[in-house]
Structure 1
Amino acid sequence: MNSENLRTVTGQVVSNRMDKTITVVIERKIPHPLYKKYIRRSSKLHAHDENNDCTIGDTVSITSVKPLSKTKSWQLVSILERAR
């Protein structure tokens, strides 16, 4: 697979209720178009977690893959920080 088409993002796990699937929130800060104050925007992505390793609150790195289901087109790369 061509590595330049893969996108890797970092986020926090907010749900692990599904089997082999986690929900990850990706937060980014963007400047308001008129007032230039930074505002937070977030996206929820479903990612494949083959071994059900993640727990809620973990900081993880995920990468894009071909669609695995209707909503799941990301895969867990690594757990960067465990939740306490």
Structure 2
Amino acid sequence: MSAEKRVRTVTGTVVSDKMDKTITVLVERKEKHPIYGKFVRRSTKLHAHDEKNECRVGDVVTIAESRPLSKTKTWNLVQIQESANKALLEIEERAAEV
């Protein structure tokens, strides 16, 4: 009877990497307004553990919920989906072509 617990994961953008082994991730979602029906953007900032200090501001990352690591940090970095440096280089290349 080894029922594995499903781990909650979310995807967001790194907005701060100034702390040692910690990143701040902005997770955005769209919710429908209960009265007007318009979709409103809502966001949450989460602190996540980055053991190797490999994330930079602007990276798109996936984080998973874990046991509490500190007062505010209960998420772990799973993977970097898109690096901010690569995206910046692509934008610069497109601008140079035009």
With structure 1 as the length reference, what TM-score do the two structures score? 0.95
Unpaired runs of at least 5, structure 2:
89-98
**1:81 offset after TM fit, Å?**
0.2
Mapped partners of 1:30, 1:20: distance in 2: 32
Aligned to 1:10: 11
Percent identity among equivalent residues? 60
Mapped partners of 1:36, 1:25: distance in 2: 24
Mapped partners of 2:24, 2:66: distance in 1: 15
**What letter is aligned with 1:25?**
L
**1:26 offset after TM fit, Å?**
0.4
**1:16 offset after TM fit, Å?**
0.2
CA RMSD of aligned residues (A): 1.2
Output aligned runs, 1:1-84, within 5 Å.
2-4=4-6, 6-83=7-84, 84=88
Where relative contact order (Cα < 8 A, 6+ residues apart) is larger, the structure is 1
Find the structure with the greater CA-based Rg.
2
Q: After TM superposition, which residue ranges in structure 1, 4 or more long, deviate above 6 angstroms?
A: none
Which structure shows the bigger proportion of residues in helix conformation? 2
**What letter is aligned with 1:20?**
K
With structure 2 as the length reference, what TM-score do the two structures score? 0.82
Which structure shows the bigger proportion of residues in strand conformation? 1
| Number of aligned residues | 83
Unpaired runs of at least 5, structure 1:
none
**1:13 offset after TM fit, Å?**
0.1
